[in-house]
Amino acid sequence: MSYNLDELIERRSVGGIKWNLFDQDVLPAWVADMDFRSPEPILRALHAVAEYGDYGYHFDAPRLRDLLTQRLALRYNWSVQPKDFQFLPNLVSALNFVSMAFTDPGDEVIMLTPAYPPFVSAPGNSGRVPIYVDLATTLDGQHLRYEIDFDAFEAAITPRTKVLLFCNPHNPVGRMWSRADLERIAEICLRHNMLISSDEIHCDLILNGAQHTPMASLAPEVARRTITLMSPSKTFNTPTLGFAFAVAQDETVYNTFAKSTAYFLPHPGAFGFAGAYAAYSECQPWVDETLLPYLKGNRDFMVDYIRQHLPQLTFTIPEATYLGWLDWRALNLPGESPFHFFLEKARVAFNDGAAFGDAGKGFTRVNFATQRQRLQEIMDRVRAVVEDL
Ligand SMILES: Cc1ncc(COP(=O)(O)O)c(C=O)c1O
């Protein structure tokens, strides 16, 4: 099967939110799904489920537990057991349940900002107190690079800080944290007896060929204090199939989380399980040979474009994810925010950086998982209104 990611797929009529939230003349570069069809084996697996006609409950899938166990060992050298998995309908709900399950009302949940918006809101949703610790930045020409400010992180921890919501690779800044970064974060969290929720949903979208290290794979004592959140939904573009998973290797952590979600969260359904099995058993060649080279090409195109045509804009060069992070502050754009400015003037919908915490004000997030031609049009529209200022 050969794939052509340049094909301009029409998505509006299907009803997906990315192409339907804004007016028809707006080009969307916001919510994190891709303008590409999922790979063929997933389509076949879903057809098979649809045609068989058994849509009964699917609480579990032992063969998927085995497949995931092998995958985590092979890809990340991470040893888990089939019993360590909990299957979930998505990860946003998991962030909320983790924030609740391992804390009492009034306890603190800490995170590194800018952060994916559901991180920012999760603690407050259940009467927990969010603690936001800004990442540090360095600037090399137009290249904005984020680092963890370990001193600020540790200084923000109090006896009431019980959970870290961690993101690796980090949405929105595109960093793959190094092993040394992970070890330092883990050491601090363990010393303060905190639970680490490690959202690794972007772990297979690596653009620089590096090896992803799951937080829990560092050491057995880290694994005991970590709940890892993963999903095929970003990599294989299947978020509405409703399948994600958590890995908890400590029995108490496992049971605490399971108890918190029981009867509140639905189990994945037949389509979710079938899609995940097909993705993980048959679609890695599509990721390696088709998707990642294309995304890397888009990232490089965008970086070159900005360097050439938008000299005042500073930006991240994502090591992972298909999300760029653009800092418009030096341009003093008119209007409420860069997001509003570009939506109104360029008819381009980015994500509003302000949703990622105060550290995101003046920024927009750009989703570059689209056809190169569309990405070029997005950049051309942005450039035109900036040159018109
Ligand atoms: C870090 C992170 N976690 C979770 C999600 C969403 O996961 P789900 O669709 O499974 O709720 C996203 C989506 O972009 C994400 O970037």
Q: Which atom of ligand 1 is nearest to the CA of 88?
A: 10
For the chain, what are the domain ranges?
A: 12-40+284-387, 55-282
Q: Is the pLDDT of residue 179 over 90?
A: yes
Verify whether ligand 1 is closer than 6 Å to residue 103 (CB atom). Answer: no
- The whole-number pLDDT of residue 59 equals 84
Nearest CA to ligand 1 atom 16: 171
Residue 208: its pLDDT value, please? 93
Instruction: Report CA(312)–ligand 1 centroid distance (Å).
Output: 31
Q: What is the mean pLDDT of the chain?
A: 97
Instruction: Return the residue whose CA atom lies nearest to atom 13 of ligand 1.
Output: 32
> What confidence category does residue 182 fall into, taking pLDDT thresholds of 50, 70 and 90?
very high
151 CB-contact burial (10 Å; exposed 0-12 / middle 13-18 / buried 19+): exposed
Q: Is the CB of 90 under 6 A from ligand 1?
A: yes
Distance CA(161)–CA(192), nearest Å, equals 8
Contact between 365 and 337 under an 8 Å Cβ cutoff? The reply is: no
What's the 85 CA to ligand 1 centre distance in angstroms? 18
Query: What is the mean pLDDT of the segment spanning 100-117?
Result: 98
Contact between 316 and 297 under an 8 Å Cβ cutoff? The reply is no
pLDDT digits (tens, 9 = 90+) for 230-252: 999 999 999 999 999 999 999 99
pTM: 0.98
Looking at the CA of residue 32, tell me the nearest atom of ligand 1.
14
Average pLDDT over residues 68-79: 98
Percent of all residues in the chain with a pLDDT value above 70, rounded to a whole number: 100
Does the domain formed by 12-40+284-387 have CATH 1.10.3720.10?
Answer: no
Please determine, for residue 194, whether its predicted confidence score (pLDDT) is greater than 80.
Answer: yes
Residue written as tokens 């949405």? 171
- How many A from CA of 215 to the centre of ligand 1? 17
Is the pLDDT assigned to residue 206 strictly greater than 80? yes
Contact present, 1 and 282 (Cβ < 8 Å): no
Give yes or no for a contact between 147 and 185, defined as CB atoms under 8 angstroms apart.
no
> Does residue 141 carry a pLDDT above 90?
yes
At residue 42, what are phi and psi to the nearest 5 degrees?
A: -70, -45
Residue 32 Cα to ligand 1 midpoint, Å, equals 8
Residue with tokens 């998991």: 94
Nearest ligand 1 atom to alpha carbon 239: 9
Q: What is the DSSP letter of 320?
A: B
**Contact predicate 315/142, CB 8 Å:** yes
The model's pLDDT over 332-382, given as tens digits with 9 standing for 90+, comes to: 999 999 999 999 999 999 999 999 999 999 999 999 999 999 999 999 999
Residue 1 scores a pLDDT above 80:
no
What is residue 221's predicted lDDT score, i.e. its pLDDT? Answer: 98
Please give the average per-residue pLDDT across 54-81, as a whole number. 96
* 101 pLDDT tier (thresholds 50, 70, 90): very high
DSSP strands (E only) in 148-276: 161-167, 195-199, 226-230, 244-248
pLDDT of 60 above 90: no
Partnered with residue 133 across adjacent β-strands are 112
CA of 91 to the centre of ligand 1 (A): 6
Nearest to 147 by CA among 93, 184, 121: 184
Top mutation candidate among 170, 171, 265 for ligand 1, by most atoms within 8 Å of CB: 171
Q: 10 Å Cβ neighbour count for 26?
A: 18
> Mean pLDDT, to the nearest integer, of 42-63?
95
Average pLDDT over residues 165-180: 98
Distance 189 CA to ligand 1 centre (A): 23
Q: Rounded to the nearest whole angstrom, what is the distance from the C-alpha of residue 115 to the centroid of ligand 1? A: 11
At the topology level, CATH places domain 55-282 in: Aspartate Aminotransferase; domain 2 (3.40.640)
Residue of minimum CA distance from atom 7 in ligand 1: 91
pLDDT digits (tens, 9 = 90+) for 265-318: 999 999 999 999 999 999 999 999 999 999 999 999 999 999 999 999 999 999
- Mean of the pLDDT values across residues 46-70? 95
Per-residue pLDDT at 97: 98
**CB 231 near ligand 1, within 6 Å:** yes
- Answer whether 116 contacts ligand 1 (Cβ < 6 A): yes
Look at residue 369 in the predicted model and tell me its pLDDT.
98
Q: What pLDDT is recorded for position 166?
A: 99
